[in-house]
């Protein structure tokens, strides 16, 4: 029961914020998470390059 109340509270809070700010919900796309992961990996690679590490592809064989 507590879980249901918490879920409803969360949904109502989100709806209230959207109504207050007059924002519409936007569709992020079907590959949003994949693009986000790729962007995060690229940011990490750039960070390591700035720190002086050399980053290259690794060729590992899996069993």
Global pTM? 0.47
Q: Distance between CA atoms of 3 and 11, rounded to whole angstroms? A: 12
What pLDDT was estimated at residue 13?
A: 93
The tens digit of pLDDT for each residue in 11-37 reads 999 888 888 888 777 788 888 889 999
In this prediction, residue 63 carries a pLDDT of 59
CA neighbor of 45 nearest in space, from 58, 34, 35, 56: 56
């Amino acid at each position: 029961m507590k879980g249901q109340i918490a879920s409803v509270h969360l949904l109502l809070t989100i709806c209230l914020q959207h109504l207050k700010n007059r924002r519409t919900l936007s569709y992020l796309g079907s590959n949003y998470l994949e693009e986000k992961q790729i962007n995060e990996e690229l940011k990490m690679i750039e960070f390591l390059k700035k720190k002086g590490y050399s980053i290259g592809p690794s060729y590992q064989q899996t069993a």
